Structure 1
Amino acid sequence: MKIDLTNKIALITGATGQLGRVMARTLASCGADIAIHYRSNEALAQNLQEEITAMGRRAAIVNGDITKLESIQAMQASIKEQLGSVDIVVANAVVQYQWTSVLEQSAADYASQFESCVMQSVYLAKTFVPDMIERKWGRMVGINTECSMQNFPTQSAYVAGKRGMDGVYRVLAKEIGEHQITVNQVAPGWTISDQDRANNAEHSESYESTVPLKRRGTDQEIANVVAFLASDLASFITGAYVPVSGGNVMPSI
């Protein structure tokens, strides 16, 4: 048994980010062709494209603002021209901002999280799901966060955006399930990335002490779950919020 994404085309938003680039490489290693979305770092996107083509897969670069419907529609047109119709959408991009208390957080920060979590999910669905319905196969995978269940101080804008995203994904799963399209979320814990490795910052005793597995997860462990949910091995899983946090958060039943 193996994860086989041969002949599938996957779009990863925020593919040049710390987690996104590992997802792109992982889905490509499973056989998928990759649409690499970036917002500002074209050089990283080009490097990633070279890596994926060296693996024997096709890769296209698309630039766009994931908070704007017309921008996502333009991305779709470009991907179709370069690769074909998208089978797998991984909503990974999110606007970055400085976390602070509810009383001090600006209204603009709440708006940015709503736009990049909720509206990105809506716009991606509106743009890419119709083709999936036509083919009777598709995968929507949203990258959520363990913070959605923690609700710690200073997390309010991020949590509000991601919990809104959760609502969209759960409803969408029920609306399009009859077309054999699955809609799921992966919720990473505080994950070790290349940036942490470069800064020798892989460990945090205070955080790790709260995690049942007593360590932080890695970017590859997140990407592995994304690949699984994108595959036919997960064909009967939909509407799920899957924490990849070493047990740090556990959804109840």
Structure 2
Amino acid sequence: MHIDLTNRTALITGATGQLGRVMARTLANCGANVAVHYNSNSARASELMDEIHGYGRRAAIFQADITSLEEIVAMKDQIKEQLGSVDIVVANAVAQYQWTTILEQAPEDYASQFDTCVMQSVYLAKAFAPDMIAQKWGRFVGINTECVMQNFPSQSAYVAGKRGMDGVYRVLAKEIGEHQITVNQVAPGWTISDRDRENHTEVSESYQLSVPLKRRGTDQEIANAVAFLASDLASFITGAYLPVSGGNVMPAI
């Protein structure tokens, strides 16, 4: 048994980011062709495209503002022309900002999180679900966070945006499930990425004390969960919020 995404086309938004780049490589290594979305880092997107070509997969880069329905629809048309219809959508892009208390957080930070978590999810569904419905197969995988279960001080804007995303994904799972389209979320903990490896910041003893597995997860472990949910191995899983956090958060029944 192995994950086989041969002949599937996957879109990863924010594919040049710390987690996105590993998701793109992983899906390509599972056989998928990859639409590499980026916002501003065209050089990194081109490098990632070349890497995927090196795996023997098709890939192309696409720039779009994921808070704009018009730009997402235009990107969908471009992907379809170059790579074919998108079978797998991974909503990974999110706006970055400085975290602080509710009393000090700028109102525009809440708006940016709403736009990049909630509205991105809505726009991606509007753009890509119709082709999935027509072919009776599709995957939406949203990248959420363990923070939505922690609600720690300074997390309010991020938690608000990702909780809104959670609501959209749960409803979408019920609305399009009859077409054999699954809609799930992967919720990383505080994950080791290339940035940590470069800065030698992989270990955080204070954080790891609260994690049952006593370590931080890796970007590859997040990508593995995404690949699983994108595959036929997860064909009867939908509406799930899957923490990949070493047990740091545990949804209860």
With the shorter chain as reference, the TM-score category is over 0.9
Match for residue 207 of structure 2? Answer: 207
**What CA distance in whole angstroms lies between the structure 2 residues aligned with 1:75 and 1:228?**
25
Deviation at 1:92, TM superposition (A): 0.1
Secondary structure in 2 aligned to 1:176?
helix
Secondary structure in 1 aligned to 2:223?
helix
Deviation at 1:117, TM superposition (A): 0.1
Match for residue 14 of structure 1? Answer: 14
Secondary structure in 2 aligned to 1:163?
helix
Deviation at 1:243, TM superposition (A): 0.0
Match for residue 57 of structure 2? Answer: 57
The runs of at least 4 aligned residues of structure 1 exceeding 4 Å deviation read: none
Deviations 1:163-217 (A, max 9, x none): 0000000000000000000000000000000000000000000000000000000
Deviations 1:214-237 (A, max 9, x none): 000000000000000000000000
The one-letter code sitting in structure 2 at the alignment partner of 1:163 is R
Superposed counterparts of 1:103-182, under 5 Å: 103-182=103-182
Give the TM-score normalised by structure 1.
1.00
Superposed counterparts of 1:75-114, under 5 Å: 75-114=75-114
**What CA distance in whole angstroms lies between the structure 2 residues aligned with 1:11 and 1:157?**
26
Match for residue 185 of structure 1? Answer: 185
Match for residue 243 of structure 1? Answer: 243
The one-letter code sitting in structure 1 at the alignment partner of 2:224 is N
Deviations 1:76-115 (A, max 9, x none): 0110111000000000000000000000001100000000
**What CA distance in whole angstroms lies between the structure 1 residues aligned with 2:104 and 2:114?**
18
Deviation at 1:9, TM superposition (A): 0.1
Secondary structure in 1 aligned to 2:243?
strand
**What CA distance in whole angstroms lies between the structure 1 residues aligned with 2:229 and 2:60?**
22
The one-letter code sitting in structure 1 at the alignment partner of 2:29 is S
The one-letter code sitting in structure 1 at the alignment partner of 2:137 is W
Gaps of at least 5 residues in structure 1 are none
Match for residue 221 of structure 1? Answer: 221
**What CA distance in whole angstroms lies between the structure 2 residues aligned with 1:7 and 1:58?**
10
**What CA distance in whole angstroms lies between the structure 2 residues aligned with 1:71 and 1:105?**
29
**What CA distance in whole angstroms lies between the structure 2 residues aligned with 1:181 and 1:188?**
23
**What CA distance in whole angstroms lies between the structure 1 residues aligned with 2:249 and 2:125?**
28
**What CA distance in whole angstroms lies between the structure 2 residues aligned with 1:90 and 1:222?**
12
**What CA distance in whole angstroms lies between the structure 2 residues aligned with 1:213 and 1:4?**
29
Secondary structure in 2 aligned to 1:34?
strand
Deviation at 1:36, TM superposition (A): 0.1
Deviation at 1:162, TM superposition (A): 0.0
Secondary structure in 1 aligned to 2:165?
helix
**What CA distance in whole angstroms lies between the structure 2 residues aligned with 1:140 and 1:59?**
19
* Alignment size in residue pairs: 253
**What CA distance in whole angstroms lies between the structure 1 residues aligned with 2:85 and 2:117?**
23
**What CA distance in whole angstroms lies between the structure 2 residues aligned with 1:203 and 1:73?**
41
Gaps of at least 5 residues in structure 2 are none
